[in-house]
């Protein structure tokens, strides 16, 4: 059986999802950088996607609900996902605060896995948002914010997680957790160095 296309699965709502993706990316491009006097870009790059039908159907099956596109949009918050990769931890929280002031959508939930990491060491700030006006009304989306160091770890961890029949799985998981902790420590050190440099510059 051939996989469903996005248009077949989501129907007319696919174009609403595309519009939500465009609005979020356009909004992020407007983030003000005039306050960043050290010349380090707060946003290094963004990634975005609409969840593919196979992944969405699998997710809905695990929840024990209908697997059609309408249910997907109604029952999940990540049909549209955007990831913002930042230079420093402080940037993650500043951008998150700025996003909460935007008029196109409302932040309905925040999951702070930087302050409270997952057991495997995963660290990221997740914002669940909902559009309340226009054709996009009612659609939810997820924005993830993380540092480039965390993104490097998360990308490799994600790839290895889906390999089957891994030897020494516990040892590998323990080592990944140790690496995540070390990367978090480096992030904190880099943030501290930035703060010292900025304070010295303006003394």
Share of the chain above pLDDT 90, in %: 70
| Backbone φ, ψ for residue 87 (5° rounding) | -80, -45
CATH number of 6-148: 3.30.460.10
What is the CA 11 to chain-centroid distance, rounded? 25
* Span 91-112, pLDDT tens digits: 999 999 999 999 999 999 999 9
pLDDT score of 164 more than 70:
no
Residue 172, burial from CB neighbour count under 10 angstroms (0-12, 13-18, 19+): middle
Contacts of 31 (CB under 8 A, 6+ apart): 42, 43, 95, 98
Residue count (the chain): 203
Give the pair of three-digit tokens for residue 184.
């978090």
CA 201 to chain CA mean position, Å: 33
12 — pLDDT class (breaks 50, 70, 90): very high
Whether 201 shows a pLDDT value over 60: the answer reads no
Domain boundaries defined on the chain: 6-148, 155-202
């Amino acid at each position: 059986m051939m996989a469903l296309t996005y248009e077949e699965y989501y129907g007319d709502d696919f174009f609403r999802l595309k519009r939500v993706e465009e609005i979020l990316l356009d909004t992020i491009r407007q983030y003000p950088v005039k306050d960043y006097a050290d010349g380090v870009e707060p946003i290094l790059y963004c990634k975005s996607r609409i969840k593919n039908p196979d992944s969405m159907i699998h997710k809905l099956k695990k929840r024990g609900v209908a697997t059609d596109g309408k249910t997907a949009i109604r029952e999940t918050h990540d049909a549209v996902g955007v990831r913002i990769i930042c230079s420093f931890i402080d940037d993650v929280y500043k951008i998150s605060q700025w996003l909460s002031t935007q008029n196109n959508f409302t932040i309905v939930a925040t999951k702070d896995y930087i302050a409270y990491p997952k057991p495997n060491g995963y660290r990221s700030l997740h914002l669940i948002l909902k559009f309340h006006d226009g054709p996009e009304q009612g659609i939810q989306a997820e924005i993830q914010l993380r540092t480039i160091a965390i993104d490097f770890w998360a990308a490799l961890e994600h790839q290895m997680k889906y390999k089957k029949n891994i030897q020494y799985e516990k040892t590998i998981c323990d080592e990944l957790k140790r690496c995540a902790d070390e990367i978090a420590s480096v992030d904190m050190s880099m943030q501290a160095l930035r703060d010292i440099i900025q304070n010295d510059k303006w003394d």
